[in-house]
Amino acid sequence: MSESKESKEPSLHTCTSEALTNNVRVEVESQYAAEHSQPFQNHWFFYYTVRISNEGDDTVQLLSRHWIITDAAGHTEEVKGPGVIGEQPRLGPGESFQYTSGCPLKTSTGVMHGTYQMVAQDGEPFDVEIAPFALHEPYTVH
């Protein structure tokens, strides 16, 4: 399996990211969830939608995830676990899997990035990059 990496780093206020590792593309878009946030109690909540696309010729399967979440105060939290939203999707050539999840923060801004641990059809494990993307409350005019 060839080890190709292409990553588009977001600017400070970009709520999207995209990375391609071993023919697996990961695209993420985040948005502020006002209905689940309580800013006066230092609780902000964000949704993020991930699309994982297999652009290679072999079937791959997502086994687990590893997220690194950093808030504006520099507090970092790591989240590891099997699958995503209770699933371990298997993607044939040209197939995609999309899901939405959420992330609470104690500050109004933060950054998430990480990796998915995948396995190729031949049993070879590999990591897929999730490029950094911003979590931030929309700007308001007072």
Q: What is the pLDDT of residues 37-61, one digit of tens each?
A: 999 999 999 999 999 999 999 999 9
Superfamily of domain 15-136: ApaG domain (2.60.40.1470)
Q: What is the pLDDT of residue 134?
A: 96
Burial degree of 128 (CB within 10 A; 0-12, 13-18, 19+) = buried
Confidence class of residue 142 from pLDDT cuts 50, 70 and 90?
Answer: very low
**Cβ neighbours of residue 7 closer than 8 Å, sequence gap 6 or more:** 18, 19, 20, 129, 131
Collapsed DSSP state (helix, strand, coil) of residue 58: coil
Distance from CA of residue 67 to its chain's centroid?
7
* DSSP H or E segment with residue 42: none
User: CA angle, corner 129, sides to 86 and 46, nearest 5?
Assistant: 55
Q: Say if residue 62 is exposed, middle or buried (CB neighbours under 10 Å; 0-12, 13-18, 19+).
A: buried
Edge-first strand order for the sheet with 96-105 is 5-8, 16-21, 24-32, 44-54, 96-105
Q: Residue 9: which of 135, 134, 136, 132 has the closest Cα?
A: 132
Give which of 66, 85, 86, 68 is closest to 76, Cα–Cα: 68
pLDDT at 14: 65
To the question of pTM greater than 0.85 for the whole model, the response is yes
Strand partners, 41: none
Average pLDDT over residues 103-107: 97
Give the per-residue pLDDT at 138: 81
